Structures are given as C-alpha cells and as structure tokens.
Homo-oligomer: A and B are copies of this chain.
Amino acid sequence: MTETTTEARAGVGEPLAVVCGGGRFPFAVAQAATRAGRSVTLFPIRGFADPWVEEWPHEWVPLGAFGALSAAIRRAGCRDVVIVGALTRPRLLDIRLDFTTVRLLPRIARLFRGGDDHLLSGVGAIFEEAGFRLRGAHEIAPGILVPEGRLGARAFDEAMAADARLGLAALAALGPYDVGQALVVIGGHVVAVEAAEGTDLMLERVADLRRRGRLKTAPGRGVLVKAPKPGQDRRIDLPSVGPQTVERTAAAGLGGLALEAGGVIAADLQAMIEAADRAGLALAGLAPR
C-alpha cells in the first residue's frame, strides 16, 4: 500500500489514459484521477464499455486494435495508462454478433490461453512494449481497494470466520497453479472452486447444487472467498466485486463474502455494503494470509 500511494503520487499532474472495459471501475478510476488534478481521457472498448464514458473526454476503440489505440493515446498526450473494467468472456458472445469484431477475433484469440488474466497480461505486455507506463487501477484510485474489517451491519460468526480462513488458505495453496480467485466454503467444506468459468458462474453452480438438494446445509451459512492470485500482476488483474456479487452470493444461499483486504477491488463499496445489508449478508475485508 505504501508503494502504491507513492506510485500514484508520482503520476500527479500527468495526463492519464483510461482504457475502459465494462462496469463502474473505469468511472471510479477516472473520478479519482480527476480529483487528483490529472487530465483524463477515456478509451472505451467497443462492445465492453458502458455508455456513461461519453460524458468524459473519450475515444471509442475496438478490442484488439492495439495499433490504433496506442496512436490515439499518444495523440491525447498520455504516457500513463490504466486498463480497467470487465473484459469478461460472456461479452465475447456478444462480439460474435458484430461482424467488425468477428474479423478481429483471430488477433484476440492469440491472447487467450486459458483465463481472463492471460488476455489481460497479454494486453498489458503490449502496452509496456509500446513505451507506456501501465498503472494499476488501485494505484490511481486506492479507494476501490476493499479495506480490512467488517463492512456492513452483519458480522461474521465463528463458523463463517473459519470458513473464510479455510478458503483463503485453499486459494493460497492453489496460487502456484494459477487457478481462480474465488471459492465457496460452507461449514468447513470447499463446495466450489472457481477456474475458467469465473465467479458468477461458480455462484450460480452453488445456487444450482442447493436447488437440487445437493447441499445439505441450511441457507445463510458459508462464504464466498475472493483473493488475488499470489504473484499475479496486480496492475491488470485484481479480482473485483460489486453489488451483483452480493446478490449472487445471496442467491447461492451463502451467509457472506470474505474478501482479501487490499487485494480485491469494489467500484462502489458503499453500494455493495448496502446490498449486503439488504440481503442480510456479512461482508468483510480479511487480512491477507
């Protein structure tokens, strides 16, 4: 965190390019940079970024057109670049409906080697090689990092705290194998592990197992545990959560969310806390193991 703050300060005053995927994270980053006195230009990725980006200085870019994108960023006078927002696979389905993007798929495909983080690492490497300074979203907007401690009305009970510890330990054990950033633990049992399917589909699976009577524990117990993969490039792949994560966790019949403090980002923590309180879920930031 100390290093993060220093790095963020180092960029103060310099213009910032925010390459935007979907969701609210690009907004949080752009807002934080503006508040810090930086001029911000958004480069929303067509098919991923949300319409609000047009309220900012922006230039739409297609996914995969790195040459055009880097030229546009240079024209905007930026050297610091943040890549932030959802570039998740479900959106790739939509791309198929778009003929222009279909033509780009072979180039995108080369970056895919299994998980989203590889796409992102690939993109990150391309930017670095082009002479840009890649910044982490959390370096520009440290406020998006989930803080430590209870975050909402409901506290973890002992069983949930134990589930969270087990989950963090299991994620750490999986670290060297580059698996996922989330799992679900109920009553001391890891019932789902995220890999390529992502957190949302994993939570749907838990909801489904419960519907089919294959989880025999009462609802309201167990936790979703999220933590970054050890050793991953935090500038481009911190796990993220939002109110939707809370709703899916509730739909899975769990009791709460255990997020690694300083290792998971939330675009609007307050909205998430409110969603957790509404759903009666416990929400907490846990110190990394």
Contacts and interface: CB of A to CB of B under 8 A. Distances in A.
Interface stretch (A6-14, A151-159, A169-177): A169-177
A104 interface: no
B189 A178 contact: yes
Interface in A68-99: 89-90, 92-93, 96
Query: Which 3 pairs of residues, A with B, have the shortest CB-CB distance?
Result: A114-B189, A112-B216, A193-B193
Contacts of A90: 212, 214
Interface string A238-249: 000000000000
A205 interface: yes
Given A114-B188, A195-B192, A96 B173 contact: no
Contacts of A174: 170, 173-174, 190, 193
B193 A189 contact: no
Interface of A: 89-90, 92-93, 96, 109, 112-115, 118, 166, 169-170, 173-174, 176-180, 183-184, 186-197, 201, 205, 209, 212-217
A183 B201 CA distance: 17
A209 B179 CA distance: 15
A190 to B, nearest CB: 4
Contacts of A115: 189, 191
B216 A113 contact: yes
Contacts of A169: 176-177
B197 A179 contact: no
Given A89-B213, A118-B189, A178-B190, 16 more contacts: A89-B212, A90-B214, A109-B216, A113-B216, A114-B186, A114-B189, A115-B189, A169-B177, A170-B177, A174-B174, A177-B190, A179-B193, A191-B196, A192-B196, A196-B214, A201-B205
Contacts of A173: 173-174, 176-177
Contacts of A197: 192, 205, 209, 214
Contacts of A196: 189, 191-192, 209, 214-215
Nearest to A194: B193
A169 B178 CA distance: 12
Contacts of A189: 113-115, 118, 178, 196
Contacts of A201: 205
Contact of A180 (B112, B193, B205, B215): B193
